[in-house]
Amino acid sequence: MTLSARMAALLLAGLTALTACAPSTSDNSARSDDRSGKLRIWLFREVDNKPKAAVVDRAVAAFTRNHRGVTVDVTYIPVDTRAQRIKAAFNDPKSAPDLIEYGNTDTAGYVKDGGLADVTADFAAWPDAKDTDPVARRSVTVDGKVYGAPLFVGVRALYYRTDVFKELGLRPPRTLAELAATARHIRKERPQLYGLAVGGAYTYGALPFLWAHGGALAEKKGRTYASGLTGEAAKKGIAAYTALFGDDNCPASTCAQLGGNATVEAFAAGKAAMAIGGDFSHRAVESGKVKGSYAVVPLPGVEEGDIAPAFAGGNNLGVLKSSSHRTLAVDLMKTLGGKRAQAEFFDAMGFLPTYTDVRRDAAREQPFVEPFVRTLAAGARSVPATPAWAAIDAAQVLPTLFQEVVSGRRSVDAAAASAARKMNDAFAAAG
């Protein structure tokens, strides 16, 4: 029996609870809260979208059976143009959808733009929500208010070649120092391989090094933030990551420009003995040359037994403030983001559930999930909950920092100071 089948019994009770808990009035800028008609939803289009569409179709069919006189129009939008389309929708309510899928680092920016509805009371009254993990809950929360429902979470761990490790008599590294030593040993013994594939543009692969050394990306200062990059612990983490670029592991001439996808692709193609990849990378690795010859463990921390804090990525669902079908949109949000649907998304796409109980079932069903679940349980982190992060990300502040150090153009101290100034300017501009 699949995980989604075991969750099927929750569907009817969940839908009944959604209707019972839905608010009777709208608390957004819309002039009405219609209980019939057409709902419009925008979801992200996946590379292979058929499995996702099949799960969505089943959830929508269940929803419309329980809401007479309601139809749902689903549109799949390209991820790379999502920002423009969604912000345009905020400014044009007549053509805007009622419900959107959005990246969890976009929450604060969309709230500042006035696009997302406050669903704090709805979330609190939703039975499924009590099992939402704390990291996922924070991803929909701004200034104590909830602006959506988590859809899935993604974290990264260490993929390694079991065949190479066996041939060289190696064990999976138990500390970050041992990780670096192992990578260099492999590169020496197998010069055709990167010991550990790293990327100068791989922000979310680098952040665990910063956090594991006790550093902070940013710290809350009143209602805004201040960069933590110039702290001594943060600089130790930056130095540990950038030291992995070189001819003795991953040559800077090649690896400085690599992003996360490229490092995973190198591993899947048999060009690297290790890589930091996500639970969402599993299918790509399984389709590569290393199928059957790899394993995954949590990325170790500074001390043996520690797990380096991972960046908790993922997507959320949010109701638009302009929706004239607020009650229905909230119900649909809970249906698509509920336990039953998340179990089906895991079965179909490998999306890691945001509910702790559903995730435990997923780990029992598919052992490859276990190291990612352990990583989440050890304490994953996210970026600052501020609209400034979108500007920081778009300006490539962190990749520039890493690349300046790797190329030798700047020292860790100088590059960190420059990046911190840019971050602080963005925080100040965001207010």
pLDDT tens, residue by residue, 301-347: 999 999 999 999 999 999 999 999 999 999 999 999 999 999 999 99
| Beta-sheet pairing, 99-103 with 224-227 | unpaired
- Per-residue pLDDT tens over the stretch 341-400: 999 999 988 889 999 999 999 888 888 999 999 999 899 999 998 999 988 998 999 999
pLDDT over threshold 70, residue 77:
yes
Nearest one of 420, 388, 393 to 224, comparing CA atoms? 388
φ/ψ of residue 387, rounded to 5:
-65, -15
Confidence (pLDDT) at 29: 66
Residues 207 and 237 in one domain: yes
Q: According to the model, what pLDDT value does residue 280 have?
A: 86
What is the band of 1 on the pLDDT scale with cuts at 50, 70, 90?
A: low
Number of domains the chain is built from: 2
Q: Which residue has the higher pLDDT, 138 or 7?
A: 138
Residues contacting residue 247 through CB under 8 Å, at least 6 positions apart: none
The alpha carbon dihedral of 36, 40, 46, 48 has a sign of positive
pLDDT by residue (tens digit) across 196-217?
Answer: 999 999 999 999 999 999 999 9
Q: What is the domain-level CATH number for residue 98?
A: 3.40.190.10
Q: Are residues 282 and 183 in the same domain?
A: yes
Give the rounded distance of the alpha carbon of 119 from its chain centre. Answer: 21
The two counts, helices (H) then strands (E), for the chain are 21, 12
Residue at token pair 């006035």: 114
- Domain match, 242 and 391 both: yes
Tell me: do 304 and 318 sit in the same domain.
no
Domain that includes residue 107, residue range: 3-154+313-379
Indicate if the pLDDT at residue 170 is higher than 70.
Answer: yes
Asked if 177 and 300 sit in the same domain, the reply is yes
- Do 294 and 162 form a contact (C-beta atoms < 8 A)? yes
pLDDT on residue 9: 47
- More confidently predicted of 338 and 84: 338
In this predicted structure, what is the pLDDT of residue 225?
95
Q: Is the pLDDT of residue 232 over 80?
A: yes
Give the pLDDT mean for 81-109: 91
pTM, rounded to two decimals: 0.84
Q: Cβ(396)–Cβ(199) under 8 Å?
A: no
Least confident span in 51-55, 91-95, 96-100, 306-310: 91-95
- Cα 342 from Cα 149, distance rounded (Å): 11
State whether 303 and 317 are in the same domain: no
Distance of CA 296 to the CA centre of its chain: 18
